[in-house]
């Protein structure tokens, strides 16, 4: 029997129909087909890169020839997690400590601004505030950090202003305090935005109900606003914490003699010492810290506020 043109149409339609029926009966397959490509991308680019990182941490680098020696060893991890020579643990600890301090500072600073933007400001003011919050992000990060160097240095704007009103020098330049100030400044927008999103979502009638039940301002804040804003705060803290944890430029430009963070050690090992395996082993540490942090954040419902 010859198949002519008129019967090709129904055959095609039939095939299409049976294909959609096939997927309808197997919903998991439909999801796979939909999410497959982006998922493959994520796995290949992101997870494979992480796996490669972890694996190269078990190798060593022959300094003299610069060659990577593919012999499995725990040496790098032993050096990172050594309790006899705590150099690298101390560097990690000071990095985590700084990231935590910056996160808390940003949360405290961001909350009133976000609250005002979300619940008090009129639309025009709100739009203006949005622009002001986002404006610094339009200029390069390195330029903003340099600007702080000019403000804080010995003959800088800060000391000049202090002299003007008869006060002594602040002596902030190239200290851990100066790094804390600059980190808090550069990451602040990343805290304001998720907190704003969380606060904006609180329905007005919750606050009215709270007032009807006799709660005053502080009680309402503690029992209604703060718990509902918490996921936003945690979401913002993921940004401020992880961005500080991975940064190496601010310590280089603003930090003093103590400014040696995880990022600087990794940078020096890759860029100067050419010891990529050790850098990889050390880079696993912040990955673990962030994984732990994300697990806690998930528990606190931060991902619902993103």
Binding site for another protein (CB under 8 A): 61, 63-67, 85, 87-88, 90-91, 149, 153-156, 173-174, 252, 255-260, 265, 268-269, 271-275
Q: Toward another protein, which CB reaches closer, 125 or 258?
A: 258
Q: Kindly state the smallest distance separating residue 1's Cβ from another protein, in Å.
A: 58
Considering beta carbons, is residue 158 or 233 the nearer one to another protein?
A: 158
Q: Hey, what are 203's tokens? A: 């329905």
Nearer to another protein, 146 or 221 (CB): 146
Nearer to another protein among residue 10 and residue 256 (C-beta): 256
Q: How far is the CB of 82 from another protein (least distance, A)?
A: 11
Q: Are 59 and 73 contacting, i.e. CB atoms less than 8 angstroms apart?
A: yes
Least separation in angstroms between CB 274 and another protein: 3
114 versus 279: smaller Cβ distance to another protein: 279
The number of angstroms, rounded, from the C-alpha of 136 to the middle of its chain's C-alpha atoms is: 17
Q: How far is the CB of 44 from another protein (least distance, A)?
A: 24
Nearest distance, CB of residue 60 and another protein, angstroms: 10
């Amino acid at each position: 029997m010859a198949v002519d043109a008129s019967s090709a149409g129904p055959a095609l339609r039939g095939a299409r129909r049976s294909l959609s029926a096939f997927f309808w009966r197997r919903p998991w397959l439909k999801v796979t087909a939909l999410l497959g490509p982006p998922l493959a991308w994520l796995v290949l680019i992101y997870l494979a890169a992480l796996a490669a990182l972890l694996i190269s941490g078990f190798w060593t680098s022959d300094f003299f020839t610069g060659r990577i020696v593919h012999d499995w060893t725990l040496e790098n991890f032993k050096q990172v997690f050594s309790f006899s020579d705590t150099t690298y643990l101390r560097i990690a600890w000071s990095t985590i400590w700084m990231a935590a301090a910056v996160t808390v500072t940003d949360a405290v600073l961001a909350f009133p601004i976000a609250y005002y933007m979300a619940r008090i400001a009129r639309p025009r003011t709100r739009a203006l505030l949005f622009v002001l919050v986002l404006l610094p992000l339009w200029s390069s990060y390195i330029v903003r950090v340099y600007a702080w160097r000019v403000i804080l240095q010995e003959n800088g704007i800060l000391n000049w202003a202090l002299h003007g009103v008869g006060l002594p020098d602040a002596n902030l330049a190239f200290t851990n305090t100066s790094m804390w100030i600059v980190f808090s400044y550069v990451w602040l927008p990343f805290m304001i935005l998720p907190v704003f999103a969380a606060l904006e979502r609180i329905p007005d009638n919750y606050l009215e109900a709270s007032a009807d039940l006799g709660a005053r301002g502080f009680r309402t804040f503690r029992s209604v606003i703060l718990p509902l804003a918490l996921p936003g705060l945690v979401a913002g803290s993921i940004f401020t914490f992880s961005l500080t944890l991975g940064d190496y430029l601010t310590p280089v430009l603003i930090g003093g003699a103590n400014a040696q963070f995880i990022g600087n050690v990794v940078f020096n090992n890759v860029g100067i010492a050419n010891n990529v395996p050790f850098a990889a082993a050390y880079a696993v540490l912040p990955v673990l810290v962030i994984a732990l942090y994300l697990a806690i954040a998930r528990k606190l419902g931060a991902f619902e506020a993103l």
